[in-house]
Chains A and B, each alone.
Chain A
Amino acid sequence: MKPTPRLACLFVGSLMLSGCGGTSSLDNAVVVPDPTVNISANPAAAALGTSTAAAPAEAAAPAAGGTAPAAAPAAAAPTTSDGFGTLKGKVVLEGAKPTLKFLVNKGDAGVKDAAVCATSDVPNEALLTGADGKGVKYALVYIPKPTAVNPAAIEATKTAKVVFDQKNCVFVPHVIGFMKGQTIDIVSSDPVGHNVNAKMRANGASNNLLGPGQKTTFTPKAGEGRPSEVTCDIHPWMKAYWLILDNPYFAVTDENGNFEIKNAPAGTQKVVVWQEAVQFVTPPSGSDVTIPKDGVTENLEFKVDAAKVKVN
């Protein structure tokens, strides 16, 4: 379609990257922008998404962009008779949130590469909740086997730029999703070496050294169907998760646990919710969710049972 807005998104994305430093609100890197929405037209909204917890980043853009976000691609796409809708909801914690210790304490000289890694406290991102203490960040919501796929959704996902950074010995962002055939950038902003040990299954294990400031790319040849752990074995506290699917229907929840997947096939779909601290929130094969045609799922909530939290 139109190249300009995409470039603009990229620009905004990279701006946000460089602008937000070591703060934990960098989930924009996995933004799957709606190509029909001109973010650049409303930079304030984009800025809002990164700086406040008021609106989820993913939701921020379309909210700012207009009332019929999916209209244009839906019209252009060869669709099934069931049509498409939006899967929207929230992942919340049920029960008391366990306190998680910092992975690295600021200024701890005993830590490996302390000069780089212990410049600030490194929180454990295995279970983060939003301002309300309920919404769970970094949960993955996806449809492993959708009944139909909207080409526009593929296009939107594949053209989004995904950057996986290592900054002050933290993988940024902690959880990303991308598609088979989509190339992601793996970069290191650190002056020390890291290794990106992605324990994938279908794509095989990949474990490469990423020297200071080095960059590389990765293009999966296959969908994984479940999240893969990514570690840096040099700095054992560094951990991230990649979800690689062969379809574009996935989302990472924002600070408040909100997620939104657009152009999802209408009808009953098996939706999987996964969160690091409890692994599968739904059964691994998914729970049934009915997505209304040209509509939005209402009051969809997935509960993470605090009693099942395993963090090590």
Chain B
Amino acid sequence: MPATEETFRKTSTLHVVFAVSSIAFLGSTVWMIAADHFRPWKAIQREFQAIETTKLEETEKKKQEELLAKHSRELDAINSKIAQADATANTNGPAIRTKQSEINALTGEFTDLDTKRKFQKAELDSLRSLYDGMIGRGEEVAARRYITSTIVPAEKKLNEFTVAYQAKQAELDKAQADLKALKGNVEELVKERDRLELEVNRVKRTLAEKNKVYGEGSLINKVAAMIRGLPGLDLAAPPQRIQQISLPELTINYNFKEVPRYDRCTTCHQAMDKLGYAATDPGNENLKPEFHSHPFLTHGASTVDPKGKVVPAGLYLDANGPHPINKFGCTICHGGQGSGTDFTFSSHEPSDLHEKHEWEEKHNWHEMHHWDFPMLPTRFMQSSCLKCHTQVTDIPQADKLQAGYQRITKFGCTGCHTIGGDGASGGPDLTDNRPVGPSLAHIGSKTPAEWTAKWIQKPHTFRPDTRMPAFYGLTNNTAKSDIPKTQAEVHAITAYLYAKSLKPEGFVEVTKAGDPEQGKNLFMQKGCMACHSHKDFPASAFPENVKEYVAADYGPNLSEVAAKFPDKKAGEAWLANWIHAPEKYHPKTLMPNLQISLDDSTHIASWLLSIEASVPKEFDELPPVSDPEVSKALDDLVSLFKKKSGTPLVDLGATVGKMSTDEKLLYLGEKTISRMGCFGCHTISGFENAKPIGTPLNGWGSKSPTKLDFALINEYLSDQPEHDGKRDGTDEYYGEKLTEHTRMGFLYQKLHRPRSYDYKKTNENLKDWDDRLRMPQFTWANDDKAIEEVMTFVLGLVEDKIDSKYLPNYSPQKIALAEGRKLLDRYNCKGCHVVEMPKFTIAAGTKLGDALPELETNVQVSYGARATDYKHLVTDPALAFDPEKEPTVNTEAVADADVTIEGMLLFDSAMPMEEPQTIQLWQPVTIGGHKFQIGDNVTLNMAKVKQTKADGGDFSWIFTAWNHATNGVEYLSQWNRMPPPLLREGMKVQTPWLTAFLKDPYPIRPAANLRMPRFHYDPKLAEPAGLANYFAAKDNAEFPYQEIPQRDQAYLASKEKEHANYLASGWSMMTKGACIQCHTVGRNIPAGGANNVNGPNLRQVNARFRPEYLEQWIAKPTRILPFTAMPQNIPPAGPDGPGSSASLAGKTGEQITALRDALLNYSTAIEQSMIVESGPATAPAPNAAPAGAEKPAAGGEE
């Protein structure tokens, strides 16, 4: 086909099209560039750069001022010296030039000599190797000749060169020094000035660098930055640029694909990791929040520096801390779209409505519906800790998360909802959590069925703070037609429970009637109030300073317990058995065996039952099954379930009609229990292996909101009347979260009004009775704080894959601490035991004399008390004692930092708190330069200190104060009979002993007020060991085992060499001294009965105590346990311990050691002393007595 000029389209038209599209293309390119050029983050960066430059300039000025203030005189001197030196150099010009040329010449000669010397040395080395060769070949004669002929002259020559070289060097050095002097020694002066100006120069340099980048400072900088920032040219090094942290291992799940994470947050949040930008720093009052730095940049964590010292580090972003910014980025904790550089697209999330409205106005913000992981609002910030810190208790700082964890554990959420245990999802494994409700396997022997039915119907009416949630009376079952059904169910559940109830095995008959009066005393004395509250012992009945400890809620409030029993006699029998041995009723109960007699238990029971219960009237509103409506409802429900389980419709009427009421009740009861999941919290016969009924919560925090059924929740809310901005208690914030269909909104409402998602769905055409929602409503459903705690935890249960290098790498110590905290809570150890003493803080800036009115006396007495400390046991030089020295303290001085005094207020009910109070120290503290030691007292003006409650020991605090105020028992004497505070417990006891003791506690101090209970540990979990390890870890002590070198053969042999019959003499001191007046030692048992015997049997000491602690304890007990009744038996200055051997006489320190060693080698000590006293049993002839018998331990006579 011939070529043709013809085109398919008209060329001129195409030209036009081409031209137009080119222009459009150009236009859109320009538009694109322009749009890029004007992106909002650039403006923000420019704004920040200006702020930063100003700040740097200010800092420079400040540093300069500081420099002048501090070193102005030195600087002036140096500067004038430099000037002088310059002047000198000027006048010495010719001389300097001469010197310089002299030096040049000398340098030449010097170099020449140096070269010669080096060559000669090489020459000599090669000659020597020839000699070595001759020796090797055995040519000794020739070799000897070779030495004299060749080597010796060569050595001589080298020597000459070396001498000449050294002389020349000296000459050169001198010339150079002369030159320096001629120049006025200016170099050193300059160096010195630089040293002084170091900090100023550093700021100057930074400023110069920043100015160059930002285009500030000089005109050149400005022009250069402008050019670099021009659109199109800004590819290279623009003054404003996106900053990103790339995190290839912290991937994001983009549905089916894990992609690397890029966090660009610092593009705008420029000061996040910079010091000096905290909102609280001076001068930052007007700094915009986006330019604030992150909290905890410099404190909150610790690290080990290259020298091995533990130094503080920033908890967040600090390169030396646990979360360095370049390793973690931002979104791993905060959520949001890290790659976004726009306010809305990065998925910011307001924490309240005020913030929301502000953002909408300022940033045109709206919710990003298509990003599943919006930033966590501030109120739920702690959720994300759970991603990596799955133990929860390893980060006690995250208080809201802890509270959520505790609430979930306490209220038994895990009874229905699985948390953890699948090995894949984040969060802790709570599948081992114990069911929180009482066992119902023997309910028939305890409460009457009537009461139980009413309780099931309205538990909160009877006991407002109960853990049992409400299943009835909720939004989806209070319609008029629903009520008979709920009542039928209540009766049915009860009927089932009672039909299946068995008599508890092991309950004994209670023959003696209890005495309520004794019971009331025992209730107080035996520690019931560590776990339970009672209306007869309200907080108001206790002294002011302990009222806050009267709040036990570990066990139920027992005020109305009398209502739970059919009659007094049956109640007393049951309660007495329960108090005496609760495990017989419920083997897994958290109520420990208190190790009290059945009689005492009966007394307590009888008192509890003597308090008349006041039960609200509405609790009793429950019609019987015979009520026609209830009975009809029963039939309906039985029919419904029968129908559902396959009974043909035609037979239904007949099947149900054939059943007796009891059969119907049993049938419906089983169905209902299984539907409601009662067995999640209670032991119920027939449901031993039932599976929990709730949605597993693993990964719930990252569950897509599209999988949540919001049903008609918005209608529900809008149909509720508004009250104070809330609808049915749901505030506007959560209302909006629900409208926006977010996880947060769903979860809130689920906890607040769990059944409201059934709104308008209860019609039987839509949902059958048994398809209605089952989640019950807890007593804290109206407490937003409680709900948010739980939400914080649940929102943290996300299914993110976290690379192992991001997970905390804990030492065994930290693991033991985290585990121990859980156990401490699980068994409520802190109900009785103090773990940390109360704290009294004197704020920085307070005049010492104001807060400590008797400071001078306190210091003098404290210093004087050091006289009776054993010097060799005092390692801290700040605690040294010199009898010649009088300590001084300036009461006018002002505390430059907060001073925290940890100790026990010596309570005296007669002295009002307005009077100065004495604190007995439990931790050392330095005040006004003087270091107070444990056991010293300080006097405080309570108006000038901030008090912090003790951690733990609630019962001990209330009992000691109460018994003192009510019965006049001296405060500290009472403390001696209380459960011991567990401060320093890890330093005190051997971990294996504590483990064994927790499992099988025995009375240590016979006179104690109450005994260590026997807890019902989970046999699978090694909990006693976990607790024992916790205490060791807390005190930085070795665990689970530690060495006891005092038992080594070599050690004992060396001691024996020094002191014959070493262990026997220790034993003799114990048995002949005061020890046996309070302690059982061998066959010496102190008289007076348990009430008068304060000291433990010393047999157990060798398994119980750690050696270092034991020595300190014997030496001066009050330095460990300030209130102890144990006296200092052997003061350093004497007198000697009675019964100490001759070789120990006068050596009080060694007597202490001997006592310690005898205690640690108890059986050996007994054996040795038996031999010493009576000789071996197979002693030969009487006139040949063994050597030991010749010299019995001295001091045997009194």
Contact = CB atoms under 8 A, between A and B. Distances in A.
A71 interface: no
Contacts, number: 120
Contact of B1087 (A114, A197, A201, A204): A114
A208 B1074 contact: no
Interface in B1094-1146: 1094, 1117-1118, 1122-1131, 1135, 1138
A111 B1088 contact: yes
State the main secondary structure of chain A at its contact with B. loop
A284 B912 CA distance: 8
B910 A201 contact: no
Given A113-B1087, A191-B1198, A199-B972, A280 B910 contact: yes
B935 A209 contact: no
A66 interface: no
B284 interface: no
B1128 A208 contact: yes
A114 B1092 CA distance: 13
B937 A202 contact: yes
B1127 A214 contact: no
A233 B1094 contact: yes
Contacts of B1078: 233-234
A152 B305 CA distance: 65
Interface size class of B (residues with CB under 8 A): 35 or more
Nearest to B1127: A195
B911 A205 contact: no
Interface in A188-210: 191-193, 195-197, 199, 201-205, 207-209
A236 interface: yes
A18 interface: no
B1127 A226 contact: no
B911 A284 contact: yes
Contacts of B1127: 195-197, 207-209, 233
A37 B1023 CA distance: 74
Interface string B840-882: 0000000000000010011011101100000000000000000
B1089 interface: yes
A207 B1074 contact: no
A201 B937 contact: yes
Interface in B867-912: 906, 908, 910-912
B721 to A, nearest CB: 57
A202 B915 CA distance: 13
Most buried by A among B861, B912, B920, B1117: B861
Given A202-B918, A222-B857, A207 B912 contact: no
Contacts of A193: 1073-1074, 1077, 1138
B911 A226 contact: yes
Interface stretch (B482-490, B539-547, B963-971): B963-971
A112 B1080 CA distance: 13
A207 B1131 contact: no
A201 B918 contact: yes
A234 B1074 contact: yes
Given A191-B1198, A204-B861, A204-B865, A211 B936 contact: no
Contacts of A229: 970, 973
Interface string A206-236: 0111011010000001100010010101111
Contact of A211 (B912, B1074, B1086, B1094): B1074
A229 B1123 CA distance: 13
Contact of A214 (B968, B1123, B1130, B1135): B1135
Contacts of A236: 1088, 1091-1092, 1094
A33 to B, nearest CB: 29
B162 interface: no
Most buried by B among A205, A211, A214, A280: A205
B1074 A195 contact: yes
Given A110-B1087, A112-B1077, A201-B937, A310 B862 contact: no
Most buried by A among B862, B915, B1086, B1088: B1088
Interface in B687-741: none
A181 B98 CA distance: 82
Contact of A202 (B910, B939, B1128): B939
Given A211-B1074, A221-B864, A284-B915, A204 B937 contact: yes
A312 interface: yes
Interface in B1070-1086: 1073-1074, 1077-1078, 1086
Interface string A75-110: 000000000000000000000000000000000011
A311 interface: yes
Contacts of B969: 312
Given A193-B1074, A209-B1074, A311 B861 contact: no
Given A110-B1087, A197-B1127, A284-B910, A205 B861 contact: no
Contacts of A221: 857, 860-861, 864
A199 B719 CA distance: 68
A290 interface: no
Interface string B242-280: 000000000000000000000000000000000000000
A287 interface: no
Contacts of B864: 221
Contacts of A199: 906, 970, 972-973
A112 B861 contact: no
A231 B1129 contact: no
A40 interface: no
A267 B436 CA distance: 69
B968 A209 contact: no
A201 B858 CA distance: 10
Nearest to A236: B1092
A196 B1078 CA distance: 14
Given A110-B1087, A312-B969, A202 B861 contact: yes
A111 B1094 CA distance: 14
A231 B970 contact: yes
A202 to B, nearest CB: 6
Contacts of A310: 967-968
B861 A222 contact: yes
Nearest to B969: A312
A226 B973 CA distance: 18
Contacts of B1094: 233, 236
Contacts of B1091: 236
Most buried by B among A199, A202, A280: A202
B1089 A110 contact: yes
A211 to B, nearest CB: 6
A202 B1129 CA distance: 23
A49 to B, nearest CB: 32
Nearest to A274: B910
A24 interface: no
A279 interface: yes
Interface string A284-303: 11000000000000000000
Given A202-B854, A204-B937, A112 B967 contact: no
A234 B1077 contact: yes
A222 B854 CA distance: 9
Contacts of A203: 861
A48 B1051 CA distance: 65
Nearest to B967: A312
Interface string B993-1011: 0000000000000000000
Contact of A279 (B968, B1128, B1131, B1135): B968
22 contacts: A195-B1074, A197-B1125, A201-B906, A201-B939, A204-B861, A204-B865, A205-B920, A205-B935, A205-B1122, A207-B1127, A211-B1073, A211-B1074, A211-B1138, A214-B1135, A222-B860, A231-B973, A231-B1125, A233-B1125, A234-B1074, A234-B1078, A236-B1088, A236-B1092
Given A202-B939, A209-B1128, A233-B1078, 11 more contacts: A110-B1087, A110-B1089, A114-B1087, A202-B937, A205-B937, A207-B1117, A207-B1118, A207-B1128, A209-B1129, A229-B973, A231-B970
Name the 6 nearest CB pairs between A and B, nearest first.
A233-B1125, A310-B968, A195-B1127, A112-B1088, A193-B1074, A201-B918
